[in-house]
Amino acid sequence: MSRISERTANESRAPLGRALMLDTASEPFFGRLLRFAAEQLGVPIAFLAIPSDGEQQVKAGCGLPAAVRRLQRTAVPQRLEVVADTGGQPALVAGVAIGAYVALPLHGRDDDPIATFYLADRDPRDWAAGELRRARDYGELIEEAVRARRAALALGADQDRERDVAARRHRAETDAHRQHAQESAAVEQLSARLQRALLPARLDADLDARVTVLYEPGSERLLLGGDFLDVRLLSGGRVAFVLGDVCGHGPEAAALAVALRASWNALQDDDHSLETVADRLGHTVEREQPGQSLFATALLGVLDDRSGVATMLSAGHPMPIAIDGDARPLELPRGLPLGLAADHPAPWTAATVQLGERSLLAYTDGLVEGRLTPGTAARLGEDGLLTAIAQALEAQTPPRALARRLLDHATRAHGSPLPDDVAVLQLFPRAR
């Protein structure tokens, strides 16, 4: 494609992506995210509206009658709009009683408006600052998903046009190769954008200096993975963290991972015990995957900077490793994975560990399930990982470079890119 035609194609993708979003059926992924956001904020209505020809058309939602296809209101909000009482204002949705709402405009990468995320209550409501913060968090997540979906649809339309041109020019083999390459690129872009929804979007400056986050997709990059992690700074000098792994791959596993990370984030606004957090996350798995076999392992923790004490809970997850002059796995009670504990009265137990000046390394099992040496059946395992850490410490590897060195070691030992996704979280003590 020439530079001129490539630029023209890029300029045309924004309206094309919006049109294709309107022409496709509402996807379960968006419905789940909207329903989850509504449940977390305690409102009955959440929906996504896309601007088209001077109207706002409803793309997906919960709490609205199925017959609702467009909003009574035609104007697209330019910034966050918070309405505590709609009394006397024109109806937002014809025939639907709405007493209060929040409207959050979503934008594409070129800053063009692509959709509006609405949360609504049937009665007047004073929106708390924490609720608005969570609404923005969910809005960012939905915005990223809409961007990814638009890009994939627009690229698919480009592929259709190029297939027609190739057929007319009797270049079937070349066209087939181009189609495959473009489809792979589109799915990889979608995968990369969704994966960003599984990782911390931005860290507090203090946390950024103390946290190493590493994520590496597996060799089957076209299959969306289910690893997720997050870190939050809490009151009283405490740091909360989560690292999890949904079994399986594909859109369902990725969507569940997104829901689990969002649920964990929402739970940090209140002072829950780790057992309560695990229980709520287990309910998220059961709600998001009714009748399905997906489950997730997770490591939950809170580090108190003042005392150096970490409280942690393992829901079937690999044990974290404490690192100073050596590396020692921490022996935590191994609880049941999330989604498999419904019939057990006490499936999880938190434990406290004095970390002191040691750093904490947590990882998903993709890091240790590769081969110990190329061409053999033996797996790297925890012992192989501990050996690799000891070698890195002996070589005086900079602490912030340790996670990357361990991933490189596991990849070389396997003899090829690791088949499963890998997520690593290393938390360092506050400088004293």
Chain segment 2-32, per-residue pLDDT in tens: 333 333 334 333 443 444 343 444 456 677 7
Q: Give 62-114 pLDDT, tens digit per residue.
A: 898 888 888 888 788 889 999 999 987 878 888 889 999 999 999 887 778 88
Q: Which two tokens stand for residue 152?
A: 């994939």
* pLDDT band with cut points at 50, 70 and 90 for residue 1: very low
Sheet with 113-121, side-by-side order of all strands: 55-62, 45-52, 113-121, 100-107, 81-83
Strand ranges (DSSP E) for 68-149? 81-83, 100-107, 113-121
- Which range is least confidently modeled, 74-83, 303-312, 345-354, 410-419? 74-83
- Which range is least confidently modeled, 144-158, 183-197, 394-408? 183-197
Average pLDDT score over residue span 278-298: 85
Computed on alpha carbons and rounded to an integer, the radius of gyration of the chain in Å comes to: 24
Task: Report the pLDDT value the prediction gives residue 208, as an integer from 0 to 100.
Answer: 73
User: Is residue 362 helix, strand or coil?
Assistant: strand
User: Is residue 251 helix, strand or coil?
Assistant: helix
Task: Report the pLDDT value the prediction gives residue 102, as an integer from 0 to 100.
Answer: 96
- Which range is least confidently modeled, 1-15, 35-49, 301-315, 387-401? 1-15
pLDDT above 70 coverage of the chain, percent: 77
More confident residue, 396 or 174: 396
Q: Give 332-348 pLDDT, tens digit per residue.
A: 999 999 988 877 888 99
Task: Inform me whether the pLDDT recorded for 182 exceeds 80.
Answer: no
Strand ranges (DSSP E) for 289-375? 296-304, 309-315, 321-323, 327-329, 334-335, 351-354, 359-363
Task: Report the pLDDT value the prediction gives residue 7, as an integer from 0 to 100.
Answer: 34
Q: Give 121-132 pLDDT, tens digit per residue.
A: 999 999 998 899
More confident residue, 178 or 1: 178
CB 159 within 8 A of CB 184: no
Task: Report the pLDDT value the prediction gives residue 116, as an integer from 0 to 100.
Answer: 92
**3-148 and 200-427: identical CATH topology:** no
Task: Report the pLDDT value the prediction gives residue 185, as an integer from 0 to 100.
Answer: 61
Task: Report the pLDDT value the prediction gives residue 350, as an integer from 0 to 100.
Answer: 97
Contacts of 73 (CB under 8 A, 6+ apart): 56, 90, 91, 92
Task: Report the pLDDT value the prediction gives residue 141, as an integer from 0 to 100.
Answer: 82
Domain range summary for the chain, segments of one domain joined by +: 3-148, 200-427
**Which CATH number is 3-148 given?**
3.30.450.40
Amino acid 140 reads: E
Average pLDDT, the chain: 82
Inter-helix orientation angle 251-267/129-168, to 10°: 160
Task: Report the pLDDT value the prediction gives residue 5, as an integer from 0 to 100.
Answer: 34
Mean pLDDT highest for which of 38-47, 80-89, 356-365? 356-365
Task: Inform me whether the pLDDT recorded for 227 exceeds 60.
Answer: yes
Longest dimension (CA), the chain: 73
Average pLDDT score over residue span 420-428: 92
* pLDDT band with cut points at 50, 70 and 90 for residue 44: very high
* pLDDT band with cut points at 50, 70 and 90 for residue 291: low
* pLDDT band with cut points at 50, 70 and 90 for residue 207: confident
pLDDT above 90 coverage of the chain, percent: 42
CATH class of the 200-427 domain in this structure? alpha beta
Task: Inform me whether the pLDDT recorded for 274 exceeds 50.
Answer: yes
More confident residue, 19 or 374: 374
